[in-house]
Amino acid sequence: MRYLTAALAVTFLLGACAGGGPSVTETGKGRPQVSVEFPQQTEPGEVYDAVLTISNPGPGDMNTIAVAFATIAPTPGAREMPLPLIGPGRNETNPSIVSIQPEPSGVSTDAVVFTFREIDGAPRLPQGESIEIRFSIRVPVTAGVAGASVQVYDGQEIDRASGVRLQTSVGR
């Protein structure tokens, strides 16, 4: 019985070691690398571009890219909650998002998840390549810290995901 338990433990540990680190999923596909450019200081109610750069180091192509926005908690040491930079919308429109380039192929009902599908049967983001997605965002009219979490994932393998914090100081 001890040998069986030891064999199972070794098998489990070897599987855990071989099963990808933080940049690879359990299925062996690479998570995207995500960065965002956005002004640190903004004026209330004005429109600014958030340029999202998504790279696919692989292994594996990404046929569908999903970009999801969510509210965020305060940064460590801060006491006030950030204003929502991109709150939920309705009927597939969001008052915070003025335009998106390239145009998404799908939008969630609350307009916080956007999908970009394959083009003419080719992967949307082949292994080793990157893409820029530009969101023109109207910042809140209230002064203060505003932010959102940006999650990017493979629409066909949701655990193949990465995210960044999008934050600005409005009118300060």
Lowest mean pLDDT among 24-28, 60-64, 87-91, 135-139: 24-28
Report the number of distinct structural domains present in the chain. 1
Instruction: Give the domain CATH number at 96.
Output: 2.60.40.690
pLDDT for the residue 120: 83
| 52-81 pLDDT tens trace | 999 999 999 999 999 999 998 887 887 788
Lowest mean pLDDT among 4-8, 77-81, 102-106, 132-136: 4-8
Residue 3 lies inside a defined structural domain of this protein: no
What's the domain range around 88?
25-170
pLDDT for the residue 1: 39
3-state secondary structure of 150: strand
Strands (E) in the chain, as ranges, are 33-37, 41-42, 47-55, 65-70, 83-84, 97-101, 106-107, 113-116, 130-138, 144-154, 157-170
Per the CB < 8 A criterion, the answer to whether 128 and 120 are in contact is no
| Model pTM score | 0.83
Per the CB < 8 A criterion, the answer to whether 32 and 5 are in contact is no
Residue 4 lies inside a defined structural domain of this protein: no
pLDDT for the residue 80: 80
- Name 165's Cβ contacts closer than 8 Å, sequence gap at least 6: 72, 147, 148, 149, 150
Give backbone dihedrals phi and psi of 65, rounded to 5 degrees, phi first: -105, 130
